[in-house]
Structure 1
C-alpha cells in the first residue's frame, strides 16, 4: 500500500475514533435518548409504513423549525415532548426514527426513536390502522440498535454509554384503550370475555416483560409516562356530544385504573432490577391541570382542536390539508382531535424536566440524566 495513502487512512481512522469517543464521553449532557411509544412521540416512523395513521401531511409540523415548517410525521404542529426534553438535556440532534434510512452509523449515538402512531402495549392494539409498530416490536428494534452500538463503540464502551449516559422514555398505553378496548368494532369480543381489570392485568404483565427485556439489554434509566385523560380529548368529546367542560367518564376511569397499577409496577421494578431507576411521569394530572385551568396558562380553549373537522370541537376528522385551522396555535391545548399542541407539550416537558414529585418521581429528568 502507498505510504501516503496509508497515513491518510490512518488519520481518517483516528479522526472517526475521536468523534465517537467524544460522543461517548461528553459529560454534562445526555448521551442517547431512546424513545418508545405511540403517536404522542412518533417522530416519523409511520412515514415508512403502509398505514392509515400518518402525519406527514400539511399542516402538521407547521411550527417545526428544524424542517422549516414542513411535515415530518410528528402528530403536532411543532416539537413533541420527546424532542423538547432531548433539547433541554443537551442533545445536539433529535433522536432519529428507527425506520428512517439515515438511522445508521454515528447518527444513532444521539438516540433512536421507535415510537409509532397507533402502537400500544398489546399486539392487537391499533389493528384498525392496518400497520403500526407495537411495543413488543419496538423492543425488538432496540435489540438491533444495541448491536450497532457494540460495533460503533466496542462492547465495553457501548455498555457504559447505554447504562450511564442514556435515557429510555416510554409513552404508551392510550391506544390500548382508545383503539382496542374501547373500540366497539374490534373489541366487542374482548369486552365480553374480559373485564377492565383483566384487560389492565394483561397490559401490566406485557409491559413488565417489555421493560425487563430493555433492562437485559443494559437500559438503566427509564421514564415511563402514564396514560393521560383520554376522555377529555376533542375526539372523545365530539363523538359523545359532550359540553365543553365535560369528559368521557369511562375512558378516564380506565386510564386512572391502569395508572394506579403502573405506579405499583414501577416500584416493583425499582426494587427487583439492580441499578435501575424507573421514573414515573404523571402525565394524567399534568394534562388534566392544563385542560381544567387552561386560561391560567394562556390558552383560550382546551376543548377544540386547532386543526381538524367535524362537530363543535373539530374532533372527528384528523388534521390534513382540508382541515379548518385556528388562527393562533399557541392558544390551543390540542393541536388535533387527539394530540396536544407544541405549546402544551412545552409546559408538560418543563414539569417533567424540573418539576416536583407531584408530577415526576422519584427524581425529575434533569436529575435522572446526572445520576
Structure 2
C-alpha cells in the first residue's frame, strides 16, 4: 500500500511541476453506475442517484447522480492526472462548448457489456454510449478544429468500467438466461462485446484504454443478502464467476494488443484491491465491510437508498460500502491509488 501511495504522490508532484498542466489532454469514461456521474438523472429509469443522501460528502453536499456519498474512483483518478474539473456527464447541461475539450463521461447506471442488460432498466447501452461518443467527436471538431481534436482523441485516456450489472442485475435473476448459458459461456458472450467495443473505440482514434475487471461480486452487501442463503459470507460461486471472466478479458486484451501495435490497453485489477478491503478493512482504516452505510446496509441502493432510509450511518469514512453495491468515497480513494499504480503504462 505504501508503494501505491508513493507512486500517487510522485505523479501528483509531477503534475505540479508541469505548471498546472494535466498529464494527458482528456479523460473519456464509459460504463455503468461505478463511473456514472449523472447521465441517468433525467432518464425514465429507477436506477438513478440524484437525490439525498447520495452526494452528501461531495462538493457543496449536493447529489450529482454519482452512486456514492462523495467522489468516485474515477474522480480521484482525474484529479491525480492533474485536472481541476471532472469530465462532464454527456447528457448534462454542462456538456457544451469548451467543457468538452478535456473529455466527457458517457456512463449509465445498470448498463453492461450486453445491450439487453441496459434495456432491462432503460439505461444507456454501450452501443448507445459509443454513438454519443461519435456525436461528441463531431462537436469537438466544430469547437476546436480537426488538428486539436485529433490530438485530444488519440492522447486521452479512455476508461471502461462495466460487467457487474450483466451478472447481478441480469444473469443471476433471469431464469431463461441462466438456463441457456453456463457461467463459462456467459463470460465468453461478454468478452465478445468487450472485443467489439475496444475495436470500435480504436477505430475512432482511441489509443490509451483502461478497462476495469469485475469486482468480487459475491462480497457486495446486496449479493450476500440475495444469494448467500442466509449467512454473512461472500458467495463463492459469484466470486468464481468474476475470476473466470477476469481471466478471459485479460487474455482477450493480450490478443488485441498484438493486433494493434500502437494500442495501450490495461486491464485494471479491481477484484483484488477491493477483496483486500473487504477481508481486512482495518488495514486501511475501515471497520465495516459487510453492511453499507445507507439504511440497513444489506439491500439498499438507488431509490431504496434515500433520505428516509432508516439506520444510515453518520460518518461513511469507516465503511467500505456506501450503498449495497457501491463503495464509499474513502474506499474509492484506496481503489484509485491502486488504479494509478496499474495504469502507469497509459501515461508513459
Taking structure 2 as the reference length, the TM-score comes to: 0.90
Residue pair 1:237, 1:315 contacting (<8 A) in 2 also = no
Report how far residue 79 of structure 1 moved.
0.4
Moved over 4 A (4+): none
Per-residue CA deviation, residues 242-262 of structure 1 (Å, 9 max, x unaligned), is: 444x11122111111110001
Tell me what 1:322 maps to: 308
User: Alignment partner of 1:306: what SS?
Assistant: coil
Tell me what 2:29 maps to: 35
- Within 5 Å, which residues of 2 pair with 1:1-371? 28-65=22-59, 68-129=60-121, 131-164=122-155, 166-183=156-173, 187-239=174-226, 240-244=228-232, 246-309=233-296, 313-316=297-300, 318-323=304-309, 324-353=311-340, 355=341, 360=342, 364-365=343-344, 367-369=345-347, 371=348
Per-residue CA deviation, residues 178-205 of structure 1 (Å, 9 max, x unaligned), is: 111111xxx2112222222221111111
Q: Which runs of 5+ in 2 are unaligned?
A: 1-19
Quote the Cα distance in structure 1 between the aligned partners of 2:183 and 2:152. Answer: 40
**Pair 241,315 (structure 1): closer, same or farther in 2 beyond 3 Å:** farther
Cα-Cα RMSD: 1.5
Quote the Cα distance in structure 2 between the aligned partners of 1:297 and 1:37. Answer: 27
Tell me what 1:13 maps to: none
| Greater relative contact order (CA < 8 Å, ≥ 6 in sequence) | 2
Per-residue CA deviation, residues 226-268 of structure 1 (Å, 9 max, x unaligned), is: 0001111111112235444x11122111111110001011111
Per-residue CA deviation, residues 125-155 of structure 1 (Å, 9 max, x unaligned), is: 14443x1012111111111111112222222
Tell me what 1:19 maps to: none
Quote the Cα distance in structure 2 between the aligned partners of 1:190 and 1:237. Answer: 21
Report how far residue 101 of structure 1 moved.
2.1
Quote the Cα distance in structure 2 between the aligned partners of 1:91 and 1:215. Answer: 24
Quote the Cα distance in structure 2 between the aligned partners of 1:198 and 1:241. Answer: 25
Residue pair 1:119, 1:132 contacting (<8 A) in 2 also = yes
Residue pair 2:22, 2:83 contacting (<8 A) in 1 also = no
Residue pair 2:168, 2:223 contacting (<8 A) in 1 also = no
Report how far residue 286 of structure 1 moved.
0.9
**Pair 300,243 (structure 1): closer, same or farther in 2 beyond 3 Å:** farther
Quote the Cα distance in structure 1 between the aligned partners of 2:312 and 2:295. Answer: 7
Per-residue CA deviation, residues 81-111 of structure 1 (Å, 9 max, x unaligned), is: 1111001101121010011122111101121
Residue pair 1:307, 1:335 contacting (<8 A) in 2 also = yes
Report how far residue 345 of structure 1 moved.
0.2
Report how far residue 161 of structure 1 moved.
2.1
Residue pair 2:39, 2:92 contacting (<8 A) in 1 also = yes
Q: Which runs of 5+ in 1 are unaligned?
A: 1-25
Quote the Cα distance in structure 1 between the aligned partners of 2:96 and 2:251. Answer: 37
Quote the Cα distance in structure 2 between the aligned partners of 1:122 and 1:83. Answer: 25
Quote the Cα distance in structure 1 between the aligned partners of 2:331 and 2:125. Answer: 25
